[in-house]
Amino acid sequence: MVGRVTSPRPERIVIEGCAVATVDGAGREYERGHLVVEGGRIVAVGPGPAAEPDEAVSVRRVDGAGCLATPGLVNTHHHLYQWVTRGLAQQADLFGWLTELYPVWARIGEEDVSAAVGAGLGWLALSGCTTTTDHHYVFPAGAGDLFAAEVAEAGRVGLRFHPVRGSMDLGSSAGGLPPDHLVEDTDAALAATADAIDRFSDPAPDAMVRVAVGPCSPFSASERLMRDAAALARDRGVRLHTHLAETVDEEEYCRATHGCAPAEYAERLGWLGDDVWLAHGVHLDADAIGRIAATGTSLAHCPSSNARLGAGIAPVRDLLDAGASVGLGVDGAASQEAGQMVAEVRQALLLARLRGGPTALTAREALTLATRGGARCLGRSDEIGSLEVGKCADVALWRIDGLGHADIADPVAALVLGAPPPVELLLVGGRPVVEGGRLTTVDEQDLLLRARRAAGRLRAATP
């Protein structure tokens, strides 16, 4: 088992004097409240100052004046390797964008993946994210142990990590979109997925690394890979993740190839269920929304990526009204170069309102998507996603007393409607990963240089 954070932390951290949005089931908020963290867990949260500890333990006191405490944000969809292939195919739709980028991605190696994962995760931490997924589905022959490289890098940065062992086995000669040289043999992909679970997935309640299973999409994974991957995931008790209903092109592909819309295709293959979270769900009719909700399937909504690729606006309000759980994702950095988790909260609100008017999504609902909604996507509602006693101490403390935010009437509105505020303190399992807007676990300059080198190398090597 690797990836577990073992670095020392103070016995107790007491944060006081801040506004608190717990995002718990009752929506409790405190204008001036406290939060106490001990042993990686939240041991107290409430209004006013914290109670004095009975005995002398090692206590770190944090003055939260001018700040808002929220649960750490949960990113439910990403492709971190894309960090080093940003800024390409700027005007393309999804299929055009993929077709332009596949040859670049075919050249990635362990060093590129490590550099991209470090930079992408560091950047996520600086935007308030404490738990993230990474759907990695590009495994060029001879590229090394890319999955191990990303898990190791995530351990260095210190975020709670849900890497998805992705896969593609449907090359262009078999009717798929990716070139043949970029897809894996079906059995080899399944074996590597089983191996990734065995090596890295930790079922423990406070796990820092938990692996999921993720054939890439209906147009890059065969029916057999989809079915067998689902069976593997259920046999091992891990979760399932894939892309679904992202574009009109995908829907047309599904109708032409499988005779039905993507959601029906997914259901036929065993890919709807309460252990499944799907990325996108932009093009869903009322029937598909009903089936997603009825089966307990979760959706990873990626508003900036959908906008950047001109894919459409997901029916988030309809999904929520139907009872489906919805989380937020930044998606791969090559389809939305910003890659900031807190910015997606605002973007989700704006897109929902462009689709459904000014009452379609409130600031608090948007924040809930990025916290409790994300926890549900990852099957970790009991552990993360809200500030409640007994939950993991995954906390974002936002500085909202600067020029951009100080006079916004409501602290939650300052966070969601205002510009992305600096993160004063980010705790993951009680361990500080960001302090005063700077990463504490890794060197930001080192991340930058490694990512720039990898991006330059990949661009230079691409014909």
Give the residues lining the site for Zn ion (CB under 5 A). Answer: 331
Rank residues 94 and 361 by Cβ distance to Zn ion and give the closer one. Answer: 94
What's the closest the beta carbon of residue 246 comes to Zn ion, in angstroms?
A: 8
- Whether 351 contacts 304, CB under 8 Å: no
Per the listing, tokens 């690394």 go with 209
Residue 261 to residue 247: CA distance in whole angstroms:
11
Rank residues 275 and 331 by Cβ distance to Zn ion and give the closer one. Answer: 331
Pairing, β 212-215 against β 73-75: unpaired
Evaluated on CA atoms 230, 213, 368, 328, the torsion sign reads negative
Q: How many CA atoms lie within 13 A of 156 on its CB side?
A: 19
Q: Please name the residues in contact with 383: beta carbons below 8 A apart, sequence gap of 6 or more.
A: 205, 206, 375, 391, 392
Rank residues 24 and 331 by Cβ distance to Zn ion and give the closer one. Answer: 331
Q: In 10 A of CB 274, how many CB atoms? A: 13
Of 26, 111, 193, give the one whose Cα is nearest residue 456: 111
What's the closest the beta carbon of residue 33 comes to Zn ion, in angstroms?
A: 37
How open is the CA angle 131-102-125, to the nearest 5 degrees? 20
Secondary structure of residue 132 in the 3-state scheme = strand
What's the closest the beta carbon of residue 435 comes to Zn ion, in angstroms?
A: 31
Rank residues 150 and 331 by Cβ distance to Zn ion and give the closer one. Answer: 331
Q: Which two tokens stand for residue 158?
A: 């210190």
Q: Which amino acid is at 228?
A: D
What's the closest the beta carbon of residue 445 comes to Zn ion, in angstroms?
A: 29
Rank residues 76 and 441 by Cβ distance to Zn ion and give the closer one. Answer: 76
What's the closest the beta carbon of residue 227 comes to Zn ion, in angstroms?
A: 21
What's the closest the beta carbon of residue 338 comes to Zn ion, in angstroms?
A: 15
What's the closest the beta carbon of residue 355 comes to Zn ion, in angstroms?
A: 21
Rank residues 50 and 333 by Cβ distance to Zn ion and give the closer one. Answer: 333
Rank residues 331 and 365 by Cβ distance to Zn ion and give the closer one. Answer: 331
Residue whose Cβ sits closest to Zn ion: 331
What's the closest the beta carbon of residue 81 comes to Zn ion, in angstroms?
A: 11
DSSP H/E element including 349:
helix 341-356
Long-range contact pairs involving 398-401 (C-beta distance under 8 Å, separation at least 24):
398/67, 398/68, 398/69, 398/70, 398/128, 398/342, 398/422, 398/423, 398/424, 399/66, 399/67, 399/423, 399/424, 399/437, 400/19, 400/66, 400/67, 400/68, 401/65, 401/66, 401/67
Q: Please name the residues in contact with 318: beta carbons below 8 A apart, sequence gap of 6 or more.
A: 284, 286, 289
Residue 289 to residue 322: CA distance in whole angstroms:
7
Rank residues 22 and 304 by Cβ distance to Zn ion and give the closer one. Answer: 304
- Whether 147 contacts 165, CB under 8 Å: yes
Rank residues 38 and 331 by Cβ distance to Zn ion and give the closer one. Answer: 331
Rank residues 30 and 265 by Cβ distance to Zn ion and give the closer one. Answer: 265
Of 391, 314, 296, give the one whose Cα is nearest residue 354: 314
What's the closest the beta carbon of residue 333 comes to Zn ion, in angstroms?
A: 10
Rank residues 35 and 333 by Cβ distance to Zn ion and give the closer one. Answer: 333
Of 10, 195, 42, 215, give the one whose Cα is nearest residue 130: 42
Of 226, 295, 222, 219, give the one whose Cα is nearest residue 256: 219
Residue 150 to residue 142: CA distance in whole angstroms:
16
What's the closest the beta carbon of residue 61 comes to Zn ion, in angstroms?
A: 41
What's the closest the beta carbon of residue 80 comes to Zn ion, in angstroms?
A: 11
